[in-house]
Amino acid sequence: MENPAFWDDPDTAQRIVTELSALKSVIDPAEKTLKNIEDVAELFELAEAEDDDATLQTIEAELTDLEARCDKIELTGLLNRPEDIKPCFFSIHAGAGGTESCDWTNMLLRMYTRYFENNGYKYEELDITPGEEVGIRSITLRIAGAFAFGKLSCETGVHRLVRISPFDSNARRHTSFAAVDVIPEFETDIDIEIDDEDLRIDFFRAGGAGGQHVNKTSSAVRITHNPSGIVVQCQNERSQHKNKAQCMKMLKSKLYVLEQQKRDEHIAKLYGDKGQIAWGSQIRSYVLQPYQMVKDHRTDHQTGNVNAVLDGEIEPFIEAYLRHRAKTRNKQ
pLDDT at 1 over 80: yes
Q: Report whether 316 contacts 326 (CB < 8 A).
A: no
Per DSSP bridges, beta strands 230-234 and 220-225 are: antiparallel
Helix (H) or strand (E) segment spanning residue 101: helix 99-118
Rounded to whole angstroms, the maximal C-alpha distance in the chain is 82
Provide DSSP, 286-311.
Answer: EE-SSS-EEEETTT--EES-HHHHHT
Q: If you average pLDDT over residues 10-15, what whole number do you get?
A: 84
Residue 171 has pLDDT above 50, yes or no: yes
Measured CA to CA in angstroms, residue 2 lies from 6, 17, 120, 145 at distances of 7, 12, 25, 22
User: What's the Cα-to-Cα distance from 41 to each of 30, 55, 74, rounded to whole Å?
Assistant: 16, 12, 21
In whole angstroms, what is the distance from residue 304 CA to residue 307 CA?
9
Model pLDDT, residue 239: 85
Q: Give, as one character, the DSSP assignment of residue 281.
A: -
pLDDT (tens digit per residue) in 71-105: 888 888 899 888 898 899 999 999 877 899 999 99
- Is beta strand 157-164 parallel, antiparallel or unpaired with respect to 282-287? parallel
Question: Do residues 277 and 179 lie in contact, with contact meaning Cβ atoms separated by under 8 Å?
Answer: yes
SS3 50: coil
Q: What is the mean pLDDT of residues 165-173?
A: 83
What is the rounded average pLDDT of the residues 30-39?
A: 94
> Which pLDDT belongs to residue 332?
60
Q: Which is more confidently placed, 229 or 256?
A: 229
